[in-house]
Each structure stands twice: as structure tokens, then as C-alpha cells.
A and B are shown apart, each in its own frame.
Chain A
């Protein structure tokens, strides 16, 4: 082993070049054991490339990456025994049964037939699939497929688990099922690297977050740190009359000098408010003079979405939940 196990995942200056594209361009990451690290970033930011390198599926062009204390390029075999990968598709065999999947992959981890069978039983129980053990995954729901996928990743109880957009395209109920399973694994000491488009998912699961854009980490910290350091406080004004949205937006922009954003769902306008109370008083005064009727007003912390827009200049992928196309 080349380093201490201070970090479960450690990369330094990772670069991956495809033709003219630098998918990763000096990517640095350090994840402590037993924590969940969320990788956030727009499409094409390099998140999946980083995961594929860390899983030994891709060779980096330059730089250094270690997983569970082993260099992913020089010691891929050791790394592969210590990781689980759950990618964007539920990578399960649709023809074998749920149990058949676990036994087959168990044998490929070189468990004996007996060990593989016993491990399959444990995992079916642990992931709530015991009743569906003898059914083919093509008859499973999206959430069940994903749990089987996670169970396969967990055959060796690996210290490091990679989840690449584990709930993309899932409805909210199935996403919660997956989150529950992930939390359970983390409570047993697993380190998780999670890439996601869904900022609420990162907020729910991650102990630390790294925001990735153009192949580098542009910000890192706990969700709370990111929200308070990068996103400033936000002033939210809910209007009584939806017709006032345009005027209210203009007034807020004028007062704060920052771009105010209107939300059409409820007639609401938000604006970053560095000077909390000062801004609040002025807004109330001017709205009163302009006869803009306010039904609610308040100051809150930024959401991760706002942090994300501020960092990358664009919103995260729209988070429309779609039931997985199975």
C-alpha cells in the first residue's frame, strides 16, 4: 500500500483527454472513509469520466488516482475487489433471476458456489428483495432494479461504492427507497462517491460536495458551507398579485444591484441580499410606496440550486422525475 488510508478516494491532477476535448483537466478530490461525497456538475462536466477512471474502466491521460489505498492504474485488480459500481443504467442481467444475478456475480468475485448462495440470501434480505428473489429483474419496478443493482455492487461489502446518477429517471418514491438503501450502507462504514443532477439528492445524502465544471473541481465543502459561503442569503418576496411580478423584479434588482429571479409557480421573486436587514427594510418601504402588495417576505439561506447557478452560470439539469424506461 502506497499511502495511509486517510482518504478512501484521492486524486491529484487527473487529466483525461479525448481528441481535442479535455474531459478532466486537473481534477483533485479527497474523500474521507465512511463519508458520502457528492459530485455535482452540469452535463459533460467530467463527473462520469472521473468515476470511470476511479473504477479502473478508463486510464487517465495524466495525474494520479487512488481508491482504498491502491493506485487505480497500477493495481486495478486490488481496486476492483474494494469497489462497487452502480452506473446510470441498472446493470443487472434481465434474464437471470434476482438471486441468479447475485450468485453469478458472486462467483465472478471468486466466492465458492456455497458462499455465493449464502451471500445472495443475505443481500436479498438486506435490500428488501427476498420476495422477488426468483423473478426476473425485467418484471421489477425501477426502484427494485436499482436495489438489485446496489446489492450486486455490495457482494464483497466493498469499502468504496461509486454511484453514478443512481436515481436518474426515477419517480420520487423509488428515489427514497434507493436513498434509504444508500444510507444503510454508509452507516456500516462504506465510503460513497455520488454523482447526481439532483441537488436535493446531494443535499440529502452527501457529507461533502465537490462542484465540477470543465473537468476541474471549482468548489468543495459541506452542503452548509457551500450554501453560506458561495450562495449569499436570499430575500424571498411572495406577491399578493401575480401581475406585479415584473415591477417587483425591477425594484429588487435596483435595490440590491443583483439579478432578481422571478418564480411563476407562486408569484415569488428572489434576490441575493448581502445586507440582510437593510435590504429588507428598504424593500418594504419601496414596495409600500409603489403599492406592491406583499403576502409574505423573508430571508433564507441559498439552496444548492442557487449555489450551482452562481458557480457554473447555468442551472443544473432539469429534475423532472420520469419513471425509468425499463
Chain B
């Protein structure tokens, strides 16, 4: 885009920065209130919510930590790890199945899988809950992991099938001529070439499972099985008279995400917009 150096252009670029800075503040202010609030006392938070904490205290962190955060963290990590490992393996296998073979009905099948992405979880909730209840699996991680895998699969298969299809045929043919089996081609050629898309997909899936509330709320009724999202959903009601504790808990929950985002922003942005940019 041509750079304009007329006075008009400079005014334009100034107002652009004003707009961007205003929006940046808008995006970050809630985080500022959360972070500073966590170091305040209740009365200080109510009287001067926008100022920096006058006498920073870590009391709220201790308070929220002993309210159950450690076990929620562990539970979230278990559920997320189980579901994401499962979905990565299943979607890589299926993605390769779709990418390597041009079988009849392939496009239709992929199309159906892609459209499943939009099915709202609340629609599936009732029958899956009844299924879990029949098996006596309510308040177990395995039923939740199973459902998470199912829900994450459509997008994962779509992304990997697309990527695997783009691997140059000459590479695969060379391996075939050398007598490599399909499994060997997948392991030795396709997977090593697929580091970035697999990392991107893992980030998207981890984020989704980590943040999921509705299913965890319904399936994990035993308080000992609560995940982070279920736990902090009940936080505000329990500590309505102690906002700093709520803010400290939220800060601790958000911290891993912030760190992950700072380190691997590229993967977040690529992964979360993959559907849209490919869909163009």
C-alpha cells in the first residue's frame, strides 16, 4: 500500500494510532482490573478499582489456592491431556486415510464431517448424559474425554486431511517405488513433514478442552472431579464478598494461557482462523 506523505496522510496515520491504542486499552483493561484486583483488599477494590494496589498483598492468592485450585488444575490437565492425545492420534490416522486414497464418496464423507463442526454441544448433551448414566460413568473423566474427542474430531480431521493432501505426490511415489508400506510412508515421510500443522492443531484442541464449561459442568458432578472452568464458575457466588480472591483465582487460571499465547501466538492465530482462511 502506497505510503502518503501529505499532511492529510500524517493526520490519517495519527488518528489510526489513536484508534488502535484505544482498542488495545479496551482489550487489556479487564485484565488490568483482574490482575491489580488480585493484590488488593476488598475495601480497596471497591473504593478505587482502577488504581494500582497501594499495599500489594498476596492474601487473596493463598485464599483462592486453598479453595480447590490445585485439584481443579490436576483434573483439567488430566481431561485435556487424555482428550487431546486421543483426538490427535485418531484425526491423524483418519486425515491420512482421506488424503492418500481417492475413494468413492470421499468428498461427501468429508463434507458431512466438516458440517458436524457447527452442531452445538447442548444438542448432544441430553442423550450423551443418559448414555453415561446407564453405564454409571457420570463423574468419571473417561466419558468426558470420549465426548471431547468426538467433538474435536471434525475440525481436526478437516485440518489434517487438507494438509496431508498438500504433500507433494512425488515424495510419496518415490517411497512407494522404494517399497515402503503405507504405514511406513505415513510414519517416515508424512508425520515428520507435518510438525507445524500438528502443533497448531494441538494448540487449538488444548485451548478448546481447557476452556470447555457446559459438558464438564453436567458430567463432573462430584466436587472432587471439578475442572478449572467448573470450579471458577462457582467462585463468584461463593466469594461475592471477597472479590480479590475471585480475581486472584482467575489470574492463576489465566496465567498458563497468557504464557502459552506469548510463546506461541503464531500457532494460536493460525489454528483458530484455519477454517476461515481455508474456507475462502
Do A and B actually bind? no
**Which residues in B have some Cβ–Cβ distance to A below 8 Å?**
none
**Which residues in A have some Cβ–Cβ distance to B below 8 Å?**
none
